[in-house]
C-alpha cells in the first residue's frame, strides 16, 4: 500500500508540474516496491519516472529510465510491459531527433504486442501513429507514403472506437505530411478534420498544434501573417515547457524570416533555438540547427558563455571545452588549442588575465563590451581573418575569447632569421594582411586589432602562402594607459604606434603602423627601432615618439624608392599621414607585388 500510495502521489505531483517533489515520491515508490518484492510495480514506477523526465524535456534521462524499466520487465517476463516501455523509449528518441532509432523501437514494440496477442486496440493504434510520425521524420518520399497509409488506418480505427484524441493526432500528422509534399489543399482538408476531431475540453496544447499547422500552411501559400502566428506558437510551447516542439517552430520561423531577407531576426530566432537545444537529449537537434545557420547563410551573433570553462581544464558539462594543448602565453593571457563540442570543431581559446588590471565589476562590463566589439568580426567570412565565435567568463570570472584555430606557421618564425626578404615573397603576403585589416576596419565592423605583430599572423599554405590574422584578444579591451604600459613591459612594444605609447585615443591607423613595422622588419632584416636590453622602456618609447627610423631605401637600396616611401609613410608619427585606409595601402603595395 505504501508503494502504491507514493506512486499515485508522484503521478499527481507530476500533473501539477511539481517536478522535484514528484521525482522524490516516485523514487520512494521504486524503493518500497523493491522492499515489498513487487518487480512489476517497481518497473511501472520506473516508467512513470521516465515519463516525468520526458515531460520536462530531459530526454536522455527519460530514455535511460525506459531502458531500465525494459530490463526490469524482461527479468520477470512481462512481455506486454516490455512493449509499452519500447513505445515510451521510441517516443523519447523521436522527440530527441532520432527517428531511425525511434522507428526500431516502435516496430519491435508492435512485433511483441501483435505477435503474442497482447494489448488492446487503442495501444495498437497509438503505436501505428508513432511509427508513422517516425517515418515522416526520416524525410524520405517512400517512407512518407508509408506513413500516410498508416495514419489513414489510425483515423479509421480511431473513428470506429471513438478515440477522438488519436484521430486528432493522426489528422494533424496527415496535414504535416501534405505540407511536406507541398499539397496545400490536402493539408487544409486534413487541418479542418483535425479541428473537428479535437478532444472535447482539450488543452491549450491541442490548440497550439493546430496553430502550428495553420501557420505552416499560410507560409506555404505565401501569407506573411504566418510569421506572427509561428512566434505565438513558439511562446506557447515555451509556456508549456515543450522545448523540442519550440525548437521545431523556431527553425521554421527562421527559414521564413530568411526568405524575406530579415536576416538579423532569423539569426536571433535560431540562436534561441540553439540555446534550447543545449538541454538534455537534444544533441542531434542542436547539430541540425548549427548546420541550418550555414544553410541559410546567416551569421551567428556573439553569445556570452558561462559554465563552459574552468581554469583547471576540467569539463563542467557535456558542452564544456576540452583544452587539448597550450599554444601560446602572453602578457595578459594564454591561448589553448581546444575542442568545442557545441560547434563540433577545434578552436583557439584565449583566456585573458584581467584581474590584475580591472576590478570584478569592471571585468563584468568588459564581457558586454567584448560582445559588441567582436560580434562584428563574426559576420566576416574573410580568408585572412580567424573568426571569433564567442566570448565568455570562466569559473574565476576571467574573460575568454573563442576563435578559429588556424594551423600554420607564425610569421614570427620567418622573421627570426633576421634576413632581408625577397619582395616576391613578402609583398603578396603584406598585401593580404592589408586586405584583411580593411575588412575588420570596414563600416560594418569598425574593429581595431590593436595587437598586430608577426606572432599574430599565421601563414597557411593554399595556392601560395596566405596570412590569417588571429588573436583579437585586445580588440575588445578599452584603451587604457595602465594596461598598455603593462603590455609594453611584457615585451611587445616594437609594433605599437606612437599614440599607443603615449596613451592617446586610438583609431585604425595604429594597425597601419604595425603593418609598416612588419613590412620594414621583413624587408630590411631589422626593426625600425631596436630595443637593447640595457635601455629602459621609457627611453625606448621616447625614441619611437621623437626619432625617425632609418629610411628603408638606405637599408635596401635594391628596392624601388617608391615602394620604400610607401612603407616609410606607414611609420609616420602622425596617424593621418599613414594612409587613408588599409585598402589604399593594399592597392599601393599590390603594384610591386605583381611585378
Which candidate in 28, 173, 451, 511 is catalytic?
A: 451
- pLDDT over 90 (residue 150): yes
Q: Which CATH class is domain 305-404?
A: alpha beta
Whole-angstrom distance, CA of residue 593 vs CA of residue 585: 12
Q: Please name which of 554, 469, 558 lies closest in space to residue 511, comparing C-alpha atoms.
A: 469
Rg of the chain taking only CA atoms, in angstroms: 32
User: What backbone phi and psi angles, to 5 degrees, belong to 181?
Assistant: -90, 5
Helix (H), strand (E) at residue 225? helix 225-239
What is the predicted pLDDT for the residue at 368? 61
What is the predicted pLDDT for the residue at 188? 95
Whole-angstrom distance, CA of residue 374 vs CA of residue 369: 8
What is the predicted pLDDT for the residue at 161? 92
Q: Sorting pLDDT into bands at 50, 70 and 90, what band is 430?
A: very high
Q: Please name which of 379, 464, 393, 391 lies closest in space to residue 428, comparing C-alpha atoms.
A: 464
**pLDDT tens column, 392-416:** 777 777 778 888 999 999 999 999 8
Q: Sorting pLDDT into bands at 50, 70 and 90, what band is 502?
A: confident
Pick the CATH number of 203-298 from 3.90.320, 1.10.10, 1.10.3470, 1.25.40: 1.25.40
pLDDT, mean of residues 252-256: 92
- pLDDT over 60 (residue 421): yes
Q: Could you name the CATH architecture of 409-593? A: Orthogonal Bundle (1.10)
What is the predicted pLDDT for the residue at 277? 76
Whole-angstrom distance, CA of residue 585 vs CA of residue 582: 5
Task: Check residues 376 and 387 and name the one with the higher pLDDT.
Answer: 387
- pLDDT over 80 (residue 595): no
- pLDDT over 90 (residue 521): yes
**pLDDT tens column, 530-547:** 888 888 878 888 888 889
Task: Check residues 171 and 317 and name the one with the higher pLDDT.
Answer: 171
Concerning whether 451 is annotated as a catalytic residue, the answer is yes
Whole-angstrom distance, CA of residue 534 vs CA of residue 536: 7
List the chain domain ranges.
Answer: 203-298, 305-404, 409-593
Which range is least confidently modeled, 117-126, 321-330, 366-375, 460-469?
Answer: 366-375
Model confidence, pTM: 0.55
Say if CB 399 and CB 370 are below 8 A apart: yes
DSSP per-residue letters across 252-315? HHHHHHHHTT-HHHHHHHHHHHHHHTTSTT-HHHHHHHHHHHHHTT-----PEEESS--TT---
**pLDDT tens column, 184-224:** 999 999 999 999 999 877 678 899 999 999 999 999 999 98
547-579 burial, b at 16+ Cβ within 10 Å, e below that, comes to eebebbbebbeebeeebbebbbbbbbeebeebb
Amino acid at each position: 500500500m505504501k508503494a502504491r500510495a507514493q506512486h499515485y502521489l508522484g503521478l499527481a505531483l507530476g500533473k501539477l508540474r511539481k517536478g522535484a517533489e514528484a521525482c522524490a515520491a516516485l523514487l520512494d515508490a521504486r524503493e518500497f516496491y523493491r522492499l515489498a518484492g513487487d518487480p512489476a510495480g517497481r518497473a511501472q514506477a520506473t516508467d512513470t519516472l521516465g515519463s516525468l523526465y520526458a515531460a520536462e524535456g530531459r530526454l536522455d534521462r527519460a530514455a535511460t529510465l525506459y531502458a531500465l524499466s525494459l530490463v526490469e520487465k524482461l527479468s520477470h517476463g512481462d512481455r506486454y510491459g516490455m512493449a509499452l516501455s519500447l513505445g515510451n523509449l521510441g517516443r523519447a528518441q523521436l522527440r530527441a531527433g532520432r527517428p531511425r532509432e525511434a522507428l526500431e523501437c516502435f516496430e519491435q514494440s508492435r512485433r511483441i504486442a501483435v505477435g503474442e496477442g497482447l494489448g488492446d486496440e487503442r495501444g495498437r493504434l497509438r503505436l501505428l501513429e508513432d511509427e508513422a510520425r517516425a517515418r515522416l521524420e526520416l524525410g524520405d518520399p517512400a517512407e512518407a507514403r508509408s506513413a500516410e497509409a498508416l495514419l489513414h488506418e489510425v483515423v479509421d480505427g480511431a473513428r470506429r472506437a471513438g478515440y477522438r484524441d488519436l484521430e486528432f493526432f493522426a489528422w494533424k500528422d496527415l496535414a504535416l505530411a501534405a505540407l511536406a509534399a507541398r499539397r496545400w489543399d490536402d493539408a487544409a482538408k486534413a487541418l479542418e478534420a483535425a479541428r473537428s476531431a479535437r478532444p472535447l475540453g482539450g488543452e491549450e496544447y491541442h490548440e497550439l498544434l493546430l496553430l502550428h499547422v495553420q501557420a505552416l500552411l499560410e507560409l506555404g501559400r505565401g501569407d506573411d501573417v504566418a510569421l506572427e502566428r509561428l512566434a505565438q506558437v513558439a511562446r506557447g510551447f515555451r509556456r508549456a515547457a515543450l522545448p523540442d516542439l519550440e525548437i521545431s517552430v523556431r527553425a521554421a520561423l527562421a527559414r521564413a524570416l530568411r526568405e524575406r531577407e530579415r536576416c538579423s531576426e532569423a539569426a536571433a530566432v535560431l540562436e534561441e533555438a540553439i540555446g534550447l537545444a543545449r538541454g538534455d537529449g537534444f544533441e542531434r537537434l542542436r547539430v541540425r540547427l548549427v548546420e541550418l545557420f550555414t544553410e541559410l547563410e546567416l551569421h551567428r551573433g556573439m553569445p556570452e558563455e558561462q559554465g563552459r570553462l574552468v581554469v583547471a581544464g576540467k569539463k563542467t558539462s557535456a558542452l564544456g571545452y576540452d583544452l587539448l594543448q597550450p599554444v601560446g602565453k602572453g602578457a595578459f593571457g594564454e591561448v589553448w588549442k581546444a575542442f568545442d563540442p557545441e560547434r563540433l570543431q577545434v578552436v583557439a581559446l584565449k583566456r585573458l588575465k584581467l584581474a590584475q588590471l580591472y576590478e570584478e565589476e569592471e571585468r563584468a562590463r568588459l564581457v558586454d563590451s567584448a560582445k559588441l566589439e567582436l560580434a562584428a568580426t563574426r559576420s566576416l567570412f574573410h580568408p585572412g581573418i580567424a573568426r571569433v565565435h564567442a566570448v565568455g567568463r570562466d569559473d574565476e570570472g576571467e574573460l575568454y575569447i573563442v576563435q578559429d584555430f588556424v594551423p600554420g606557421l607564425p610569421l614570427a618564425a620567418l622573421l627570426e632569421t633576421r634576413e632581408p626578404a625577397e619582395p616576391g615573397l613578402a609583398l603578396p603576403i603584406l598585401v593580404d594582411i592589408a586586405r584583411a585589416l580593411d575588412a575588420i576596419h570596414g563600416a560594418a565592423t569598425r574593429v581595431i586589432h590593436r595587437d598586430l605583430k608577426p606572432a599574430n599572423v599565421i601563414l597557411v599554405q593554399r595556392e601560395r602562402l596566405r596570412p590569417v590574422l588571429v588573436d583579437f584578444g585586445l580588440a575588445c579591451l578599452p584603451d587604457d594607459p595602465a594596461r598598455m604600459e603593462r603590455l609594453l613591459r611584457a615585451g611587445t612594444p616594437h609594433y605599437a604606434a606612437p599614440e599607443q605609447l603615449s596613451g592617446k585615443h586610438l583609431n585604425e591607423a595604429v594597425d597601419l603602423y604595425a603593418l609598416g613595422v612588419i613590412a620594414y622588419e621583413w624587408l630590411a632584416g631589422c626593426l625600425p627601432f631596436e630595443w637593447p636590453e640595457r635601455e629602459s622602456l621609457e627611453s625606448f618609447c621616447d625614441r619611437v615618439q621623437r626619432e625617425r627610423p632609418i629610411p628603408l631605401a638606405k637599408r635596401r637600396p635594391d628596392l624601388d624608392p617608391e615602394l620604400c616611401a610607401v612603407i616609410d609613410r606607414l611609420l609616420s608619427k602622425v596617424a593621418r599621414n599613414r594612409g587613408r585606409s588599409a585598402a589604399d595601402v593594399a592597392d599601393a603595395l599590390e603594384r610591386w607585388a605583381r611585378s
